[in-house]
Amino acid sequence: MLSFYGVYKSYSSPYFALSNINFKVEKGEFLFITGPSGAGKTTIIKLITREELPSKGKILFEGKDISAIPRGKLYSYRRKLGIIFQDFRLIPYLTVFDNVALPLILRGSGKQEIYNRVTTALKELEIIHKARELPPSLSGGEQQRVAIARAIAGNPDLLLADEPTGNLDPLLSRKIMRILQRINMKGTSVIIATHDQSIIDEFGEKVIFLSYGKIKRIKT
Amino acid sequence: MSFSVFFLCWFILIRNNVGYIVNKIEKGLSARVFLQDEITEERAEEILKRLKTLHEIEYVELVSKEKAKEEFAHYFPEIAEALGNDNPFPISIYIRLKKTTNSSENLLKQLNEIPGVKEVVYQRELFNSFKKLRVSIDYLGSFLSIIFFIASAVIIGNLILIHIAARKEEIYLLYILGARDDFIFTPFIIFSIFFSLIGATIGILFFKLSILIAEYLKGKFLPTNQLENENLFVILGLSILVGLIATIISTGRYSYEI
């Protein structure tokens, strides 16, 4: 489904944030990308979402080079992704329901479809009772669940999570991971960038270890 | 935007009025032959007959002292009233030249040499002066209008950029979630249309108010031709277009960052 071929990324200096990155993610796979801070985990996520372009190499999604997608058509590619940010990035003046509905509104879904999908996602994340609340009134764990609900409401092909448990306590972290596992078992490919070793030890099936922008090893 | 529209309305109005005067003068290039104060009516009639024989002249008309005073009173009623029964206006002969007349200087010389003629005032100098004035107004008015509208566009563009900057995080998120440019920037475009419309309307209202004041002071100013409503709609449309262009440039600058 997703392939990195000889990918390099440099930010206007001789130093490479990523060097010679090669890996594949098959459909339905659950992948961890780990490494110390500055290893390049978030850079990989940004390359996948096309927030950044590789300096060298190719990134293929369903066989198509995402660097070649014209700017005007990027929205179509991004709608196949679900993204969970470390800092949640919920819109504070929209209710929980509206935040989760956002990806569906953007793709022009009908009212009934939006209602059904959002309700399903909120129920799955056990946060339906907070549907009318505003994000600032929620706890960190609740906000992260809303962010996950938003990411899955549109049935993405690929779910990306950048440090999804970074702001959460260990108990909540495991709860979130089990939710992501359930989502993966339904067929969605999941890529999680994290430096939380305990999570990787417990849930990691396939893990890419990064160090100074290079792949140190891949555990399968 | 209000000031730009206000200035443009006045520029068009003044230009139209000067153009009207130029056209009116051009239609009948004329001269006034002022006769000496002590001249008799019979001598005036003789001069009139002589002028009718000149081939450069298309039309002649004797303007008596009373008629001259009436013409003056039409434009300056208060001053005419102040004159009372006095009539300082001389007898004159209004002549309209044929348009093909090129040798106006010789004709003027000829007219001045007629005994009984005090002065000949030829409107071609006046026509040329108004024509030059209209050209100057065109250049200056157009230049200033363009400058003011560019300034308006810059202000609107910067206002939009400030709004975008204030919502930068949100816009970035929308892009990552798969929003298209039109979804994100349509609210800004609607805002700029509304903003331009309000600004232009205020400008037009101030213009209308200033016209009312000019009408009230009509006795002291020349009468003004009104600006047609069609012109006002065009100006409104132009204002919206300027706002739209400024917004599209601003949003275009931002959208390519993601």
CATH code of the domain covering residue A100: 3.40.50.300
Convert the pLDDT of each residue in B114-170 to its tens digit: 888 888 887 666 667 777 888 888 888 888 888 988 888 888 888 888 888 888 888
Measured in angstroms, the CA of A92 and the nearest CA of chain B are apart by: 10
B80 and B173 in a single domain? The answer is: no
Is B35:B92 a contact under the CB 8 Å cutoff? yes
Is 60 exceeded by the pLDDT of residue B222?
Answer: no
Q: Cα–chain-centroid distance for residue B145?
A: 14
Confidence of residue A133 (pLDDT cuts 50, 70, 90): very high
Is 90 exceeded by the pLDDT of residue B27?
Answer: no
The partner residue sitting opposite A106, judged by closest CB among B169, B183, B256, is: B183
The partner residue sitting opposite A106, judged by closest CB among B170, B178, B256, is: B178
Query: Distance between the two ends of chain A, CA-based, in angstroms?
Result: 17
Average pLDDT of the segment spanning A70-82: 91
Total tally of structural domains belonging to chain A: 1
Dihedral of CA B137/B139/B144/B149: which sign? positive
Which residue type occupies A161?
A: A
- Contact between B178 and A79 using a beta-carbon 8 Å cutoff: yes
Confidence of residue B258 (pLDDT cuts 50, 70, 90): low
Is 90 exceeded by the pLDDT of residue A171?
Answer: no
Strands A158-162 and A81-84: parallel
Is 90 exceeded by the pLDDT of residue A96?
Answer: yes
**Has residue A68 been placed in a domain?**
no
**Has residue A6 been placed in a domain?**
no
Looking at chain A, which runs of residues are DSSP E strands? 2-10, 16-25, 30-34, 56-61, 64-65, 81-84, 158-162, 189-193, 206-211, 214-219
pLDDT value, residue B200: 87
CA–CA separation, A31 and A24 (whole Å)? 10
B107 and B78 in a single domain? The answer is: yes
Residues of B within 8 A of A79 (CB-CB) are 177-178
Query: Looking at the complex, does the CB of residue B45 fall below 8 Å from at least one CB of chain A?
Result: no
State the Cα angle at A56 between A54 and A61, rounded to 5°. Answer: 55
Residues of A within 8 A of B177 (CB-CB) are 78-79, 83, 102-103, 106, 150
**Has residue A67 been placed in a domain?**
no
B141 and B121 in a single domain? The answer is: no
Ramachandran region, residue B178 (left: φ > 0; alpha: ψ -120 to 50; beta: rest): left
Question: What percentage of chain B exceeds 90 in pLDDT?
Answer: 1
Chain B residues 159-198 with CB within 8 Å of chain A: 169-170, 173-181, 183
pLDDT value, residue B26: 65
Residues of A within 8 A of B174 (CB-CB) are 102, 106
B136 and B123 in a single domain? The answer is: no
Is A83:A149 a contact under the CB 8 Å cutoff? no
B89 and B154 in a single domain? The answer is: no
What residue of B is the nearest CA neighbor of A71? B256
B52 and B87 in a single domain? The answer is: yes
Residue A197 belongs to domain spanning: 26-52+80-219
Among A91-105, A181-195, B2-16, the minimum mean pLDDT is found in: B2-16
Average pLDDT of the segment spanning A138-163: 91
What residue of A is the nearest CA neighbor of B183? A106
Strands A30-34 and A189-193: parallel
Is 80 exceeded by the pLDDT of residue B16?
Answer: no
The partner residue sitting opposite A78, judged by closest CB among B169, B178, B181, is: B178
ipTM: 0.87
B224 and B96 in a single domain? The answer is: no
Best interface-test mutation with A: which of B176, B182, B255 has the largest number of A CBs within 10 A? B176
Residues of B within 8 A of A81 (CB-CB) are 178
CA–CA separation, B47 and B62 (whole Å)? 10
Is 60 exceeded by the pLDDT of residue B219?
Answer: no
pLDDT value, residue A149: 93
B6 and B100 in a single domain? The answer is: no
Residues of B within 8 A of A49 (CB-CB) are 176
**Has residue A109 been placed in a domain?**
yes
Total tally of structural domains belonging to chain B: 2
- Contact between B175 and A78 using a beta-carbon 8 Å cutoff: yes
What residue of A is the nearest CA neighbor of B170? A91
Where does a domain end: B96, B127, B158? Answer: B127
B169 and B241 in a single domain? The answer is: yes
Helix (H) or strand (E) holding A7: strand A2-10
| Per-residue CA distances from B47 to B53, B60, B112, B116, B243 (Å) | 10, 11, 12, 8, 64
B171 and B235 in a single domain? The answer is: yes
B17 and B135 in a single domain? The answer is: yes
Average pLDDT of the segment spanning A70-92: 91
Residue with the bigger pLDDT between B226 and B158: it is B158
- Contact between A103 and B178 using a beta-carbon 8 Å cutoff: yes
pLDDT value, residue A101: 95
The partner residue sitting opposite A49, judged by closest CB among B174, B176, B181, is: B176
B141 and B42 in a single domain? The answer is: no
Residue B220 belongs to domain spanning: 2-21+131-255
**Has residue A63 been placed in a domain?**
no
Residue whose token pair is 């089990």: A178
Supply the Cα-derived Rg of chain B in whole angstroms. 29
Best interface-test mutation with B: which of A89, A99, A146, A158 has the largest number of B CBs within 10 A? A89
Best interface-test mutation with B: which of A84, A87, A99, A106 has the largest number of B CBs within 10 A? A106
What residue of B is the nearest CA neighbor of A52? B258
